[in-house]
A and B are shown apart, each in its own frame.
Chain A
């Protein structure tokens, strides 16, 4: 189970990477879908690539392609679980 601290850290990282300043990290649910309209963040595929690169830089985790990223980037919880398993930094 990923820690609350890590989840908050990921939320902040995403906000910074995408220059989102009109949503606070607390507003994003851990299990909420990150992509598509109607969700708090409503991200798109370009945002996904930004997140992939930010995660690689901060945690040393690689997400090479969409088959992986569409499962890993489902929610903050799935990202946190992936990082806990694979982090090198």
Chain B
């Protein structure tokens, strides 16, 4: 069967959705994202990081494992210590006609423009086939199927550094005849809501958003100079809007998930929740734009950062109400 290439908002949820569709299960990227409880917030300050940072999605790999656990789909996964073996196993699977997802260093995806390619070790692509020394690749960020030379794919699969891929590959091996979407969706919702409002960790979920709001005003004391500070503040926009979030730090994709879930389960409550998180996303987008503007203008005095902080606190309050209501809803629908 020919592999249907499709662009997607995010590389991991897009790759999982594409492989499942190829294997005969019709499922959208937002459903994959929502069922796996992909939505998240975490604020991290550590000596390991050069500067505080935040994440708006769950950890890499969790989208695949979450979907598998809640739908009964099974994936075969492998990592390799030996690159030659990693190459051989991939080539064998491809020659058997199986598209395979590979974890890669984004930098080596040469078919994408130079200015977007940075070293990030958790970029997922689907390798569709091998033609001579060239691999045909389906990358969610590329409008068409692309070609990647063998050397680049090997470098990308066996890049060093944090989250190094170690040749990680996966592909679906079994799809259940019937999937209980009602249970899968509500379990995914309950898990995401729990992470956002119940997890007793001070830097995760709504607590993490509040910590971000509190700490962002201190960022000037951590930055080397105004250029560095401006760069870090503008990264807020990049983390929320670029890097395959689907816009507003995955909040829009989660809204699409809730809308699709509402249609699938014929549940109007989910449609209402979808509208609410869409509005929450719109306000996150205002934060993106505000951060980008003040960063670009280097207008980063205490007043401006105070305004930014207030906007983030307001998002924490809105998400606390939203995810508490969602958690209550998930309990009542069990």
Contacts and interface: CB of A to CB of B under 8 A. Distances in A.
Interface in B170-192: none
Interface residues of B, number: 24
B293 interface: yes
Closest 7 CB pairs of A and B: A64-B247, A65-B247, A64-B252, A46-B292, A65-B246, A67-B7, A65-B9
Contacts of A67: 7-9, 140-141
A16 interface: no
B141 A53 contact: no
Given A64-B9, A65-B9, A65-B252, A46 B289 contact: yes
Contacts of B248: 64
Nearest to B296: A46
Interface of A: 45-46, 49-50, 53, 56, 62-67
Please report whether the interface of chain B is mostly helix, strand, loop or mixed according to DSSP: helix
B245 A50 contact: no
Given A53-B285, A64-B252, A65-B9, A46 B246 contact: no
Interface in B228-264: 237, 241-242, 244-248, 252-253, 256
Interface of chain A, helix or strand or loop or mixed? helix
Contacts of B274: none
Contacts of B8: 67
Contacts of A56: 282
Contact of A49 (B7, B241, B252, B253): B241
B296 to A, nearest CB: 6
Nearest to A50: B289
Contacts of B282: 56
B288 A49 contact: yes
Given A46-B292, A65-B247, A67-B140, 15 more contacts: A49-B241, A49-B288, A49-B289, A49-B292, A53-B285, A64-B9, A64-B248, A64-B253, A65-B9, A65-B241, A65-B244, A65-B252, A66-B241, A67-B9, A67-B141
